[in-house]
Structures are given as structure tokens and as C-alpha cells.
Amino acid sequence: MIFGANTLTVLAGCALFGALAGAVGTFVLARRRALVADVAGHATLPGVCLAFLAGEAWGIGGRTPWLLLLGGAVTALIAACCVPALARLRRVGSDGATAVSLAFFFGLGAVLISVVQSHESGAQGGLRKLLFGSAAAMNSDDVTTLIVLTLATLIALSVFFKEFALLSFDEPFARVSGLPVRNLDLVLTVLLVATVVAGLQVAGIVLVVAMVLTPAAAARQLRGSLTRVTVMASIIGAASAAGGVIVSSMFERVPTGSAMTLVATLVLLIAMALPLRARLAVGA
């Protein structure tokens, strides 16, 4: 196995990310925000490129992890907030809004990545790894950033767990009982963006959405209470992420993001194939 940093630390960091993605994914699915997660993933690209260029310009190096992730988070958050705003336009709808937001930010990202590529700097190669993810290319700074960001997001998620649970289960009731629904949705979007950004190094810009959606969908097959589904989603997410890292280290050329996505999809298919009784047993 070839890893840039301590193997076990990378593996632990990736598993932690998988757990976070699964937990956040449960609420993303419940709030019907699946494709917003897709937009957020793709929309990190222009921000990451801008951060790279800024880092080069400021002389702190283009591949500064926290700067890249901050840049990605800013554009991803803007893109995610654009979706509901565009959806309000006549004849656009949520479907069209998602496509437009994705096209704009990913298109902008494509333009900016061509700017980055024209830059005379040896560091731009690292940026290409962000497209499909590469755990092998992570250095110790990357791993530290990943673990800190993931833990912070997990803590934030657990703080709001009760409110999210109520919101996902029964929005009208949540409204009537005085929950600030709009602000909570914004918090969920922020957590989603944090998750997506945390996963960029590991799962990559294009496929990070799979780690949010697929483990959560698999966990939903196992029924049970929301808490149990969330926990199951975290376990499946962590297992898929760790499995993906191991698979991609065995087949060196397979990007980590691809491997994780395929492992998670396999778990989903197995969960769907289980007879109902077995699902209930696992869920209980």
C-alpha cells in the first residue's frame, strides 16, 4: 500500500468522513435535497481554482489545504443557495434551477481550471487529483484538515439533531411549533457544504455527492427510527469510505472517489436485496 502519510491515519480520516457523509445524507434525503448535494459538490470547483490562484498570488502556495477548502466552500454555498432562488422563477422549477446552478458553477470551474493550468507552477497537478479524489496523494496537512473539519461538522450535526429530526419528519408541525424552518434549512445546507468540502480530497468533486446519498439510501432500506437510520448510515458510510481507500490502494490507478462510490453502491444493492425480515432485524 502506498500512502503519502501514515496509512492508518488516512484510513481513519476517510472513515470519519464517510460516517459524517452518511449522517448528513440521512437529513439531505429526508429534506429532499439530493440534487442540491450534487450542485454543492460540482460548485466547489471554481472556488478551489480561485483559492489556488489566490494562494499563488499571495505567495503562500496554491496547494494550501485550508485555503482550497475555504474557497470551495464559498462557491458551493452560493450555488446551493442559488437553487431555491432560481426555483422561484416562472417555468423554472427545482429541477431546472438545479441544472442551471450546476451549469453555471461547473462551467465557471472549467474556465478557471484552464486558467490554473496555464499557470507556471508545479503544484497544479495536485488540483487535478481533486476531481476524482485521491487518498494516496494526501499529506499530513490534508489529513489534519480533514479530521478537524469532519469532527467539527459532526459535533454541529449532533447539536441540531433533534431539530433536524423534527423538521425532516413533519415540516408543518415543525413550523407550527415555532421552529425557525428557514434558518434550520440554511444550517443543514452549511453542514452539507462542510461535508462536501471535507470529502473533496478523498472522494473528489464529481463523486463526493455519492458518499452523501448512497450510504444514507442504503440505511433507509433497513427501516427503524431516525436515530437508528442515521447511525446505520454513518456505519455504512464509514465502511464504504474505508473500503474504497483499500480498494484504490490495491488498484493503484482507480481514483479513491470511484472506489468509494462503487463500494457504497454495492452496499445499497445488498440492502435492497435483503428480505424485509432481515432488514428489520438489522434496523432493530
Partner 1 sequence: MSSSLPTSFAADAPALAAALCALIACGTLGNWLVLRKEAMTGDAIAHAVLPGLVAGFLVTGTRSVGAMFVGAALAGIAAILIAKWIRTRARTEAGAALGIVFTAFFAFGVALLETQGARQVDLDPECVLFGSLETLFYVESPDASWITGVPRQLWSLAGAAVLAVLFSVAFAKELTLLAFDAPYARVASKSPRAIESALLAIVSACIVASFEAVGSVLVIALLACPALIAAPHARSVRGQILLSLIIGCAIACIGYLLAAQAESVFGAKTALNSAGMIAALLAAAVPLSHATRKLIIHQRA
Residues that bind partner 1 (CB under 8 A): 29, 32, 34-35, 37-38, 86, 89-93, 95-96, 98-104, 106-115, 117-119, 128, 131-132, 206-207, 209-210, 213-214, 217, 220-221, 251, 253-255, 257-262, 265, 268, 272
217's grid cell: 439510501
Residue 262 in contact with residue 240, Cβ under 8 Å?
no
Count Cβ atoms within 10 A of the Cβ of residue 71 and give its class: 0-12 exposed, 13-18 middle, 19 or more buried: buried
Residue 8: CB minimum distance to partner 1, A: 25
Cα–Cα separations (whole angstroms), residue 8 to 135, 138, 242: 12, 12, 10
56 is written with which cell numbers? 499563488
Give the C-alpha separation, 239 to 90, whole Å: 43
Closest to partner 1 by CB, 101 or 153: 101
Q: Residue 176, exposed/middle/buried by CB under 10 A (0-12, 13-18, 19+)?
A: exposed
Q: Could you count the other beta carbons within 10 Å of the beta carbon of residue 179?
A: 16
Query: How many Å separate Cα 177 from the centre of its chain?
Result: 31
Contact 42, 151 (CB under 8 A): no
Q: Are 190 and 196 in contact (CB under 8 A)?
A: no
Q: How far is the CB of 31 from partner 1 (least distance, A)?
A: 10
Residue whose CB is less far from partner 1, 10 or 217? 217
Give the residue carrying C-alpha cell 507552477: 121
Other C-beta atoms closer than 10 Å to the C-beta of 226 total 16
75 contacts 46 by C-beta, under 8 angstroms: yes
Do the Cβ atoms of 160 and 187 come closer than 8 Å?
yes
Minimum Å distance from CB 91 to partner 1? 4
